Amino acid sequence: MKIQKIIIIYFFLLSTLYSDEVNLEVMEIYKNLRCLVCQGQSIADSNSDFALTIKLVVQDQIKEGRTKKEIYDFLISKYGEWIVYQPTLTKDNFFLWFLPYLVLVLGGLIIFFITRKSKHNKAN
């Protein structure tokens, strides 16, 4: 009797664990989709008609076994790049992608030159 209970609890926990994993993946997709009819909300945040429909479609496509990228590509082909929060790298936005790295390198160089200069000054 006790063993039976343990087994039931074990499978129950296993199933919730599994469903959490699936939900996390779906949630991640929702969060990266912009709700086009709401101001500053993602599909995950919104309960608008549009967001609910998008959620249904995403769930369907996941059930069909499509990957995250395929789902994003599908929605981009229908609504344009604007629907995803993380845009793909194009020649229009490469500055946006690489500016942080550029600033990092530039900052490093500035620090390097300043410390070298002050060392020189101390040595002198």
| Interface with other proteins (CB under 8 A) | 36-37, 49-50, 52-54, 56-57, 60, 75, 77-80, 82, 110, 117
CA 91 to chain centre: 21
Which residue's CB is nearer to other proteins, number 14 or number 119? 119
Q: How far is CA 57 from CA 62, 74, 80, 100, 115, in A?
A: 9, 11, 17, 35, 57
Nearest-approach distance from CB 17 to other proteins, in angstroms: 30
Which residue's CB is nearer to other proteins, number 7 or number 37? 37
Whole-angstrom distance, CA of residue 50 vs CA of residue 71 = 16
Which residue's CB is nearer to other proteins, number 5 or number 91? 91
Nearest-approach distance from CB 58 to other proteins, in angstroms: 10
Q: What angle do CA 86, 46, 18 make, to 5 degrees?
A: 75
- Exposed, middle or buried by CB within 10 Å (0-12, 13-18, 19+), for 74? middle
Nearest-approach distance from CB 19 to other proteins, in angstroms: 23
Which residue's CB is nearer to other proteins, number 7 or number 52? 52
Nearest-approach distance from CB 54 to other proteins, in angstroms: 7
